[in-house]
Homo-oligomer: A and B are copies of this chain.
Amino acid sequence: MNDKPSATDIDAAIAVGAKVKLATLDTRRDDLLPDRKKAEKQLAEDAAVINTLQDRLFAERTRALLVVLQGIDTSGKDGTVRAVFNETGPLGVVVTPFGRPTEEELAHDYLWRVHRAVPRKGFIGIFNRSHYEDVLVAKVRNLAPADAIERRYGEIVAFEQHLVNNGVTVLKFMLHISRDEQKKRLQDRLDDPAKRWKWNASDLEDRKLWDDYQAAYEKMLRKTSSAHAPWRVVPADRKWRRNAIIASVVRATLEAMNPQYPPVSWKPEEFVIE
């Protein structure tokens, strides 16, 4: 891979094949975007272009972009939002974190709260965790009957097809970090007073279930990476590389959507402003 890979190169490098063995997928990919300075420069450029294209998407107001961020604890979902979308700002961008469902959410099917959070036309929606928790934590911790969880993969594929049919482009990123990297990041939350608020003792319980989670992720990737909404597995041990990769894909996706300022049905000279 050369020093400044194109968006297509990057995308090809992280695309998901039919069968994924996460243990064999490099979480660093030093070959991809080897130079940190250049990657950061590229990120800044991409973020600026994303900002411009989001403005057009907002003006066009006929389609939406949904960015799904999945990954185990400390994999960097919040950090990705900040790095890739801070330039875009809060206007026309809505971040939805999916935590433990509320009583009201539990009183509905698991896609109910997700559908409500789908971005409106003109918007970029970012899911920090998502409906995929319903085949991840739900599976590993047996939060639903096994046959119900088994059925969800197909339901999710159908749901995303429905969104795509109705003008929502769906990008799905799995942030892939190593077991060692997670250890470092958890330790950092203990050691750094400014990060202690992020500490959650239950993360340790999940860490003990590492292999179960990796298996659940593999099944998720295999069962729900569709032509209309493929998964991308992002090497995420290096935060700067993760950010540059995701920004590159988001930018290329928006460029392909090519949003336009809407045509107007009137002539400027029709109006006189007194």
Contact = CB atoms under 8 A, between A and B. Distances in A.
A183 B194 CA distance: 49
Nearest to A267: B190
Interface in A86-113: 86-95
B187 A273 contact: yes
A82 B93 CA distance: 11
Contacts of A59: 194, 197-198
A198 to B, nearest CB: 8
Nearest to A190: B268
Interface in A169-209: 183, 186-187, 190-191, 193-194, 196-199, 201, 204, 207-208
Contacts of A85: 89-91
Contacts of A201: 266, 271
Contacts of A81: 89-91
A206 B247 CA distance: 42
Interface of A: 51, 59-61, 78, 81-82, 85-95, 126, 183, 186-187, 190-191, 193-194, 196-199, 201, 204, 207-208, 261-262, 264, 266, 268, 271, 273-274
